[in-house]
Structure 1
Amino acid sequence: MAAYLRWMGLKERVPRRKIRDRLNPIEFYDNSEFSQRYRFTKESVIYLNGKVGPAIKHGSERNFAVPPLLQLLVALRFYATGCFQMVDGDLFGVHKSTVCRIVSRVSEAIASLKAQYIHFVPRRETTAGFYGRAGFPGVIGAIDCTHIPITNPGGENGELFRNRKGYCSINVQVVCDDQAQITHIVARWPGSTHDSRIFDNSQLCALLERGEIRGHLVGDNGYACRPYLMTPLLNPETQAEKNYNYSHIQTRGVIERVFGVWKRRFPCIQEGLRTKLDTTLTIIVAVAVLYNFGRRVGDELPEEDEHPLEDDLEDAQVQNAANANGNAVRRTLIENHFAA
């Protein structure tokens, strides 16, 4: 086409670059409106920008480059809605491809803070806090897995991500403490993977197996009962066994509430992620970091979002093969602490 125009003696028309007005949400919205849209207060966002801003700043000062604070807001809006990137871009006056790059870049920067905000350190305060909930002794964390919906990544391994409910997902393992803070996360296994396999291959399991960490986790019957992982009895008969089950359920309930609040705060992991697989895994870790960040700075959800949602409970799972040592520890626990 260019050669034809030159032959005709005409000049090729170069399309003019469109410069779009960019909204500044911090100035445009009041505090309540801002929190509802971005899940954090303005002060928290500015503080977070101080942590991730240097990592997401452009290396060159190009004209019309998106500043770090606006990049952070673009990503937070995506986490808070899970909307298509074109819609997110329209809100900020940037192209959808720019939104894609921004979400990936910001997610990597936030996920890099994982060591600061997510770390498993058993403490006496944690054990005492769990004991205060329902009288279950020696608990250092509650463990469970939750499915984050994704689009089928395709390829020869695409169907590995289809879980037993029929949709594609990432099966994410999470451990929380008595204060409902995430202390451990594994976000890399396809949806068809069983909870127990994820735990068996985790670093946390290896540490517990070697005795480098004392105490035990509480989990559902998707896991085998082990000396360091207590599960409920399937058919409690005696009063002591019923007391044990009741205490176990009350103690483990905190992890279900963590999932509920986490997904309510960041609907992108409730409704599903349509990003590339590597970016998806990074986003999951990033919103886990943001969940703990919000709790540490005392930034609660907007009041109107505090209505309870449906629990993300899995269907009853078949109990794994019995572990003799685990069953012995559980039996001793029932006789010594729940028989009265």
Structure 2
Amino acid sequence: MELARVFEGSSSSSDEELGDLLVVVDRVKVFRDRRNPFEMYSEAEFRDRYRFYKDTVRHIITLIEDNIAPMTLRNCSLSPADQLLIALRFYATGAFQILVGDDYGVHKSTVCRVVQRVSEHLAGMCPHFVKMPENQQEKLLVKTGFHAIRGFPNVIGCVDGSHVPITSPGGENAELFRNRKTYFSINVQAVCDSKLNIRDIVARWPGSTHDSTIWNASLLSARCENREFQGSYILGDSAFGCTPYLMTPLLNPTTPAERTYNAAHKATRNCIERCFGNWKRRFACLSLGLRTKLENTLTILVATAVLHNIAISQNDQADDFEAIQQYEDVENDINNDNFPGGNAARRALIDTVFR
């Protein structure tokens, strides 16, 4: 050992004492100093780093701590709170995992495992936090919120797709993930309400997939087809086909009633654009791009949707976060599909409500 060379030429008794000392030193475990972020940061500093108020994070800890066991490593132990904060720091920055690990004195492989296990548990909570209104009272509440925007009646959600950049997943199907802007992505479809809660999410389709393809294959579309939301509308842009339950804008409005319909549609549907904007502002990893394995990437997308809704429930808004726009979002072609009854339903709505 290098330390032994410093004491070269010492007496034999000194050598024996040094040997005993080195044995003791070798056996001492070195615990890294991990300070408590709740105590070391002000509220503003904490929120800037983790994208949530302290009380919101404490609330999230209560939701996961019984299911995320402490991680005992060779030289430290990570509590459920430590693990959540590591995951939140990764979501908030999109930084390489080695940099997040440096903040906590753990190896990047530990960060990878922590982010994966926290994301899996949060994503597992999706059915509880991300769901369409289930009864008449909930539906009425959602419809009332939308109607207050510009008088569009019976709306229970607004749908759209947004691209989250990823690294190439490799393999023979890798090019399917390359979108029209030439970068690799996941095309995430979401439905939101007027409060910007995510009510439905589909986070598994490659970036080359058209919005209408994702919608037509979705469980929510099937539920609408089965008239589960009879008498209600979902608003989508011109990338979707017009159906009796999915209202799209008119491409060439000519009458005052048609222009009023389009204006109300645009103002109301703006909720989903704001929803995606807040989601990506809070979690910079969604704007800067995810460099995780594809399976973990899909889990992170759902996990952050759950966190988005939890934040809203705690009145922890994301409007004040700075927008990060590194990749240009993808615009879909206009959908000219003519679904039976869609145009007729839209015409009846225009003639009865917007004339």
Q: Give the TM-score, by structure 1 length.
A: 0.90
Answering whether residue 91 of structure 2 is matched by residue 75 of structure 1, we say no
Q: In the alignment, which residue of structure 1 is the partner of 2:354?
A: 338
**Correspondence for 2:237 among 220, 223, 228:** 220
The answer to whether the Cα contact below 8 Å between 1:256 and 1:313 also exists between their aligned partners in 2 is no
What's the C-alpha RMSD, in Å, of the aligned pairs?
2.3
Output the amino acid matched with 2:234.
Answer: L
The answer to whether the Cα contact below 8 Å between 1:52 and 1:109 also exists between their aligned partners in 2 is yes
Answering whether residue 36 of structure 2 is matched by residue 24 of structure 1, we say yes
Answering whether residue 216 of structure 2 is matched by residue 200 of structure 1, we say yes
Answering whether residue 128 of structure 2 is matched by residue 109 of structure 1, we say no
How many angstroms apart in 2 are the aligned matches of 1:308 and 1:279?
22
How many angstroms apart in 2 are the aligned matches of 1:290 and 1:59?
22
How many angstroms apart in 2 are the aligned matches of 1:209 and 1:323?
12
The answer to whether the Cα contact below 8 Å between 1:196 and 1:224 also exists between their aligned partners in 2 is yes
**Correspondence for 2:262 among 245, 267, 283:** 245
**Correspondence for 1:288 among 290, 305, 308:** 305
- Name the CA shift for 1:134/1:308 in 2 (closer, same or farther; >3 Å): farther
Q: In the alignment, which residue of structure 1 is the partner of 2:76?
A: 64
Say which SS state the counterpart of residue 333 (structure 1) adopts: helix
The answer to whether the Cα contact below 8 Å between 2:240 and 2:334 also exists between their aligned partners in 1 is no
- Name the CA shift for 1:310/1:127 in 2 (closer, same or farther; >3 Å): farther
**More deviation, 274-283/305-314:** 305-314
- Name the CA shift for 1:312/1:325 in 2 (closer, same or farther; >3 Å): farther
Output the amino acid matched with 1:130.
Answer: F
Say which SS state the counterpart of residue 189 (structure 1) adopts: strand
Q: Report % sequence identity.
A: 50
How many angstroms apart in 1 are the aligned matches of 2:171 and 2:64?
34
How many angstroms apart in 2 are the aligned matches of 1:85 and 1:288?
21
Deviation at 1:23, TM superposition (A): 3.2
- Name the CA shift for 1:255/1:16 in 2 (closer, same or farther; >3 Å): same
Deviation at 1:212, TM superposition (A): 1.5
**More deviation, 255-264/60-69:** 60-69
Say which SS state the counterpart of residue 324 (structure 1) adopts: coil
Deviation at 1:167, TM superposition (A): 0.6
How many angstroms apart in 1 are the aligned matches of 2:209 and 2:122?
27
The answer to whether the Cα contact below 8 Å between 2:31 and 2:75 also exists between their aligned partners in 1 is no
Say which SS state the counterpart of residue 67 (structure 2) adopts: helix
Q: In the alignment, which residue of structure 1 is the partner of 2:271?
A: 254
Q: How does 1:5-16 map to 2 (within 5 A)?
A: none
Q: In the alignment, which residue of structure 1 is the partner of 2:96?
A: 84
Output the amino acid matched with 1:103.
Answer: V
Say which SS state the counterpart of residue 54 (structure 1) adopts: coil
Answering whether residue 111 of structure 2 is matched by residue 94 of structure 1, we say no
Deviation at 1:311, TM superposition (A): 11
Deviation at 1:308, TM superposition (A): 9.9
The answer to whether the Cα contact below 8 Å between 1:130 and 1:178 also exists between their aligned partners in 2 is yes
The answer to whether the Cα contact below 8 Å between 1:225 and 1:231 also exists between their aligned partners in 2 is yes
Q: Give the TM-score, by structure 2 length.
A: 0.86
How many angstroms apart in 1 are the aligned matches of 2:339 and 2:72?
59
The answer to whether the Cα contact below 8 Å between 1:144 and 1:219 also exists between their aligned partners in 2 is yes
How many angstroms apart in 2 are the aligned matches of 1:275 and 1:327?
43
The answer to whether the Cα contact below 8 Å between 1:119 and 1:184 also exists between their aligned partners in 2 is yes
Which of these two proteins has the greater Rg computed from alpha carbons?
2
CA deviation digits over 1:35-69, x for unaligned, max 9?
Answer: 11111122221221111122221477976221111
Q: How does 1:151-162 map to 2 (within 5 A)?
A: 151-162=167-178
